[in-house]
């Protein structure tokens, strides 16, 4: 019965200390009323607010505090609109190929596509996980695919005939077995083939599997400060599933950067039938000047300057010498000189083959 008054006194003393703080009282009053241990302690929400971390589900809240200062030094990376279309195509292709691979109902969706530094991502990979290093052969550079623990267990479970509805386990505290690595590697080959197919309308590229790692330090495919595009995919198989993350450094995408900057497929290199028809009609109405060249003579400038009225130039041409018809400096035809209806005429006998590089 003696514990109740002491608890009431402690509560009253703590309330008095907080009241003194709110009224602008000094620390001495609070200390005398409740003792040195009654100092106010910030809760986790107040600490997060001070540091600028948002603990809620919304991610578009404006940053504040220390986090805003840190984030001000981050680089704003270039958006690649066509890359989003490529990954949308990848989701559709993967849904079909993984259904055939697992003989199960598979749903693939994109969580988000973000740009970040490669080193920041490497430090944020949730372990344990499998990291597949692959090479884009035509672009001569590398990318990274990360398969999380839940996805590894789900693939092993579904391929080895595990029962549905079993509690999902986490593979940790032990190295991956040969069976687990082999089954996951087979799935990675399927995903890389789908990724190649997704890029086909834009640029033919073959993504070739290189190696499988479990330690992020051995999966470095770019400088830690370099920019990269991270795509997070969620794979659901009934009551099983997990995450796949595809990371492509900007250096890997550089050969097709101009294509990825398009707003829609074929924006810069597509055919415009209206413009083609208009151009063809105008070309038929275009007037050009043809020159009939009987012979050419090369002479020194000093000789040309010495020519006077009455000087003669001897041509190495006869009546049977072919005449070259040219448009500017481009030879088009060869023919024979003659007369028709009292006028000089040239009869075209053959085309002149164009040399490479001439237009």
Q: What is the mean pLDDT of residues 273-301?
A: 85
pLDDT of 267 above 70: no
Measured in degrees and rounded to the nearest 5, phi and psi for residue 294 equal: -80, -45
Spell out the SS3 assignment of 280-345: HHHHHCCCCCCEEECCCCCCCHHHHHCCCCCCCCCCCCCCCCCEEEEECCEEEEEEEEEEECCEEE
The CATH homologous superfamily of the domain defined by 81-260: CheC-like (3.40.1550.10)
| Crossing angle between the packed helical segments 27-34 and 3-22, to the nearest 10 degrees | 180
pLDDT tens sequence across 124-183: 888 888 999 999 998 999 999 999 888 888 888 888 887 665 555 665 667 888 888 999
Please write down the long-range contacts of 248-251, taking CB distance under 8 Å and 24 or more positions apart: 248/143, 249/118, 249/141, 249/142, 249/143, 249/221, 249/222, 250/77, 250/78, 250/226, 251/141, 251/222, 251/226
* pLDDT value of residue 58: 43
pTM of the model: 0.55
- Residue-level pLDDT at 290: 86
Q: Which helix (H) or strand (E) holds 101?
A: helix 81-102
Domain 287-351 annotated CATH 3.40.50.300: no
Q: pLDDT digits over 230-256, tens only?
A: 999 999 987 788 889 999 999 898 888
Whether 270 has a pLDDT exceeding 60, the answer reads no
SS3 (DSSP) at 135: strand
Could you give the CA distance from residue 48 to residue 313 in angstroms, rounded to a whole number?
A: 96
- Provide the pLDDT for residue 24: 54
Percent of the chain with pLDDT over 90: 15
Average pLDDT of span 188-216: 90
More confident site: 268 or 222: 222
Q: How far is CA 181 from CA 126, 153, 253, 266, 290, in A?
A: 18, 11, 28, 40, 73
322 by Cβ neighbours in 10 Å (0-12 / 13-18 / 19+) ranks as: middle
Q: Where are the domains of the chain?
A: 12-71, 81-260, 287-351
């Amino acid at each position: 019965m003696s514990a109740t008054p002491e608890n009431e006194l402690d509560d009253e003393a703590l309330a008095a200390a907080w009241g003194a703080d709110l009224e602008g009282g000094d620390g001495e009053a609070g200390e005398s009323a409740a003792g040195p241990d009654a100092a106010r302690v910030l809760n986790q929400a107040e600490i997060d607010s001070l540091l600028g971390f948002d603990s809620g589900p919304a991610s578009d809240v404006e940053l504040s505090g220390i986090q805003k200062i840190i984030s001000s030094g981050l680089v704003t990376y270039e958006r690649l609109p066509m890359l989003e279309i490529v990954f949308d195509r990848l989701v559709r292709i993967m849904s079909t190929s993984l259904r055939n691979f697992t003989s199960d109902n598979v749903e693939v969706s994109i969580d988000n596509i973000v740009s970040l530094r490669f080193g920041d991502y490497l430090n944020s990979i949730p372990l344990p996980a499998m990291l597949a290093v692959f090479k884009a052969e035509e672009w001569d550079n590398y990318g990274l695919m990360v398969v999380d623990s839940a996805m590894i267990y789900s693939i092993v479970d579904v391929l080895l005939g595990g029962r549905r509805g079993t509690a999902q386990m986490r593979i940790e505290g032990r190295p991956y077995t040969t069976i687990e690595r082999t089954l996951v590697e087979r799935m990675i080959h399927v995903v890389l083939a789908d990724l190649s197919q997704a890029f086909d309308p834009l640029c033919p590229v073959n993504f070739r599997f290189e190696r499988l790692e479990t330690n992020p330090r051995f999966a470095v495919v770019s400088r830690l400060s370099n920019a990269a595009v991270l795509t997070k995919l969620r794979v659901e198989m009934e009551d099983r599933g997990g995450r796949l993350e595809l990371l492509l450094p900007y250096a890997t995408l550089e050969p097709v950067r101009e294509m990825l900057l398009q707003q829609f497929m074929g924006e810069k290199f597509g055919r415009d039938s209206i413009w083609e028809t208009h151009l063809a009609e105008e070309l038929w109405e275009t007037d050009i000047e043809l020159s009939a060249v009987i012979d050419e003579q090369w002479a020194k400038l000093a000789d040309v300057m010495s020519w006077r009225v009455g000087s003669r130039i001897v041509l190495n041409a006869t009546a049977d010498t072919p005449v070259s018809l040219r448009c500017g400096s481009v030879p088009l035809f060869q023919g024979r000189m003659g007369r028709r209806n009292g006028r000089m005429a040239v009869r075209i006998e053959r085309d002149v083959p164009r040399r490479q590089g001439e237009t």
